[in-house]
Chain A
Amino acid sequence: MASHSVTLRHHFETSEQQKDASTIGMWMFLVTEIMFFGGLFMAYIAYRGAYPDAFAAGSQKLNIVYGTINTAVLICSSLTMAMAVHSAALGKKNLIILFLILTLMLGGVFLGIKAVEYHDKYVGHEIPGANFHPELDNKNVSVNNVSLYFALYFGMTGLHALHMIVGVGLLLFLIFKTAKGAYTAHWHTPIELFGLYWHFVDIVWIFLFPLLYLIDLHPGK
């Protein structure tokens, strides 16, 4: 049991125990994150159920092409992140850096497209507030209720984007540390745990995409 690893903290018996403790800690954090986003999802369910037509009208103002591309970009970044963790387990430093940089770039692409979308909303007067004047196809819905949809759209995608920005910062840190040779096949827990975080953010988007972008797309309703 006496490990010679310099990465083993003195309050742990073995590396396995240390890794288990870290993994469980990360999962506990992610579980609180589920509830953090869960409150917003509950608000979404409540108001979409109350104002289905207004939510459909708001949703139809979003750009589905951007949304679909962003979904694909995030899925690709999840694959590159999984590959980074895989490379870390094999101790291949250059591959870790390559995959982390790819993940970083895809995260950047996602945020860039998101910024373009937000700008479109700004130009179209679709940001809730004093200048909220969206041009709706359905004239029978209350603008106030559409405003509620957009408030939830910005709240949910904004919180998601904030998580992405935090992730980008952490990725830069991990790339820097990997380049300095901090992670080996024996010890690469930070990369693994960051992978969990990144995949979690991907999962949130998996739900946001159909709920926000794809309400009532079918023609002739």
Chain B
Amino acid sequence: MSNHPDHIVPVRVYILVFLALLVGTGLTVFAATIDLGRFNIVLALFIACIKAALVVLFFMHVYYSSRLTKAIVISGLCTLLILFFFTLTDLLTRGAVQGSTDWVGVPGR
């Protein structure tokens, strides 16, 4: 989709995204009260990622933006993932290599 300067996102879209974000917040709080073991954090981050994606795509207009803008957003996220990935390859393998306790633990276990 080209970067049309006069593209106006309908108010309906904003309202729907807004409601979805509020529902997502409620879901996050509710999900935190259930014991899912190590999947609590997975679910919390899954909901947070969906909320963030809605904000980026619609409030920040990336869905309607030029390919160059999309490429910049994606490259930014990839850079963050490189930081996480290579640091985690170190942290996650420490226990295995040194025979010490595992790095990722779950509270109360």
A interface list, Cβ under 8 A from B = 15-16, 19-20, 23-24, 27-28, 30-31, 34-35, 38-39, 41-42, 45-46, 49-50, 52-53, 55-56, 64, 68, 71-72, 75-76, 78-79, 81-83, 86, 89-90, 195-196, 199-200, 202-203, 206-207, 209-211, 214-221
Q: A210-B28, A217-B33 are in contact. Are A49 and B104 (CB under 8 A)?
A: yes
Complex interface bits, B94-109 against A, C-beta within 8 A gives 1, otherwise 0: 0000000001111110
B73 lies within 8 A of A210 (CB): no
Contact check: which of A15, A16, A42, A55 meets B87 at CB < 8 Å? A42
Complex Cα gap A134–B51 (Å): 33
> Which positions 37-66 of chain B face chain A at CB distance < 8 Å?
40, 44-45, 47-48, 51-52, 55-56, 59-60, 65-66
Q: Once the chains bind, are B14 and A209 in contact (CB under 8 Å)?
A: no
Given known A27-B72, A31-B76, A210-B44, contact A196–B60 (CB-CB < 8 A) = yes
- A20 to B2 Cα, complex, angstroms: 11
Residues of A within 8 A of B59 (CB): 78, 81-82, 195, 199, 202
The smallest beta-carbon distance between B72 and chain A, in angstroms, is 5
Cβ-neighbour of A31 out of B15, B34, B72, B106 (below 8 A): B72
Interface residues on B, range: 35 or more
Of B9, B44, B79, B104, which contacts A34 at CB under 8 A?
B79
Main SS of chain A's interface residues?
helix
B22 touches A27 (CB 8 A): no
- Interfacial chain A residues near B15, Cβ < 8 Å: 79
Residues of B within 8 A of A200 (CB): 60
Bound CA–CA A45/B41 (angstroms): 11
- Say how far A185's CB is from chain B's closest CB, in angstroms: 8
Does B3 touch A at the CB level, under 8 Å? yes
> Bound complex: CA of A174 vs CA of B77, how far in Å?
29
User: Closest residue of chain B to A55, judged by CB?
Assistant: B107
Distance A52 CA – B38 CA, assembled complex (angstroms): 11
Residue in A34, A203, A221 whose beta carbon sits within 8 Å of that of B55 in the complex? A203
Q: Please judge, given known A-B contacts A34-B76, A214-B29, A221-B107, whether A72 and B22 are in contact too, CB under 8 Å.
A: yes
Q: Which residue of the partner chain A has the closest CB to B76?
A: A31
Residue pair B8, A86 in contact (C-beta under 8 Å): yes
Verify B66–A20 contact, CB threshold 8 A: yes
* With known contacts A83-B14, A217-B33, A49–B103 Cβ distance under 8 A: yes
